[in-house]
């Protein structure tokens, strides 16, 4: 059985038997295929897909581009030995065939998130913890790195939030199992994406202290103060300051209690929520502009049809 493996984290990649799939070099073909893969659980009207690819073109022209892209995808995906078609193409709609021989990094990633949803990090058993570890390894970079289409930005933010959530759980799991250095690695990764995550700084302070690096734990607080000031213009919360004072006083039991119980998702403090809302506002603004352009395009098309 010949399986096609798609990678959407980082740069787009499609491989069969470890060899790059030929015929998928065109950016619009990659965009259409990626859109269908990310929304693989339902069918899509041709009009929607045509507008996605060439929303700035006339209806007839955009449908022509869609037909061309579908022909390119069919030629590339159906080459070789397969038991089932990857794409299901009908007159009015298109869909990924979920019964075809394909694997998708995003699908495996989302499955790990769904399976462990509702289970706190410290409550993970070994198999589920390994599932999360494997999932975060799939995250080779942000979704479709270098793409800036509105739909892609939305999906990128959604998957990045899932990634940070899983890293946060693994931090908690590492702390519970005294894997302090491993937990620090997860925390450092979170801060690369969310520099103002005060909750992550607190955990890192505790992990470093427990690992015997008291000086590093104190320096982590200084980084926290600087990041919150530069990113959000706020000061650390009282519990973060209390943890710092406890560590400085070498009060290990007090430091442990100062970390607090993990929230359901990372970024649960008000400053962190503010930062995420501002980021979401930017994405929604871009989507709103795209919708407005599409409305204007449709209105112009309707006017041209009038006698």
- Is the model more confident about 252 or about 15? 15
In the chain, which residues fall in CATH 1.10.10.10? 4-100
Domain 124-282: top CATH class: mainly alpha
* Rounded Cα distance, 200 and 222, in Å: 13
Selection from 275, 11, 285 nearest residue 144 by Cα: 11
Residue listed under structure tokens 């449709």:
298
Predicted TM-score (pTM) of the model is 0.81
* Rounded Cα distance, 142 and 151, in Å: 14
Per residue in 272-295, pLDDT (tens digit) is 566 666 666 666 665 666 556 556
Q: Would you place residue 60 in the very low, low, confident or very high pLDDT band (cuts 50, 70, 90)?
A: confident
202 token code pair: 């607190």
User: Which DSSP state fits 21?
Assistant: P
How is domain 4-100 classified at the CATH fold level?
A: Arc Repressor Mutant, subunit A (1.10.10)
* Rounded Cα distance, 237 and 239, in Å: 6
Per residue in 93-130, pLDDT (tens digit) is 999 998 888 999 999 999 999 999 999 999 999 999 99
Q: Would you place residue 221 in the very low, low, confident or very high pLDDT band (cuts 50, 70, 90)?
A: very high
In the chain, which residues fall in CATH 1.25.40.10? 124-282
Q: Taking 80 as the threshold, does the pLDDT of residue 262 lie above it? A: no
Rounded to 5 degrees, what angle do the CA atoms 78, 79, 84 make? Answer: 35
- pLDDT > 70 in the chain, percent: 80
């Amino acid at each position: 059985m010949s399986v096609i493996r798609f990678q959407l984290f980082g740069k787009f990649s499609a491989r069969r038997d470890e060899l790059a799939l030929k015929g998928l070099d065109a950016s619009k073909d990659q965009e259409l295929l990626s859109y269908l893969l990310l929304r693989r659980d339902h069918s899509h009207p041709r009009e929607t897909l045509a507008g996605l690819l060439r929303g700035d073109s006339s209806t007839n022209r955009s449908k022509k581009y869609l037909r061309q892209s579908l022909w390119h995808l069919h030629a590339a995906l159906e080459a070789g030995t397969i038991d089932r078609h990857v794409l299901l193409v009908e007159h009015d709609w298109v869909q990924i065939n979920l019964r075809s021989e394909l694997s998708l990094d995003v699908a495996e990633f989302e499955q790990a998130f769904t399976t462990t949803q509702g289970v706190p990090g410290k409550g993970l058993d070994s198999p589920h913890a390994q599932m999360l570890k494997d999932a975060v390894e799939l995250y080779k970079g942000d979704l479709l790195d270098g793409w800036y289409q509105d739909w892609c930005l939305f999906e990128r933010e959604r998957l990045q939030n899932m990634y940070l959530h899983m890293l946060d759980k693994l931090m908690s799991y590492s702390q519970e199992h005294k894997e302090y250095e491993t937990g620090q690695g997860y925390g450092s990764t979170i801060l690369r994406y969310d520099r103002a995550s005060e909750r992550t700084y607190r955990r890192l302070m505790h992990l470093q202290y427990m690992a015997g690096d008291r000086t590093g734990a104190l320096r982590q607080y200084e980084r926290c103060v600087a990041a919150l000031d530069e990113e959000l213009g706020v000061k650390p919360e009282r519990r973060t300051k209390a943890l710092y004072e406890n560590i400085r006083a070498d009060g290990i039991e007090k430091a442990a209690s100062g970390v607090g119980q993990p929230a359901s998702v990372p970024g649960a403090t008000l400053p962190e929520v503010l930062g995420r809302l501002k980021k979401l506002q930017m994405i929604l603004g871009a989507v709103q502009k795209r919708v407005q352009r599409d409305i204007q395009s449709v209105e112009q098309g309707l006017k041209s049809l009038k006698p």
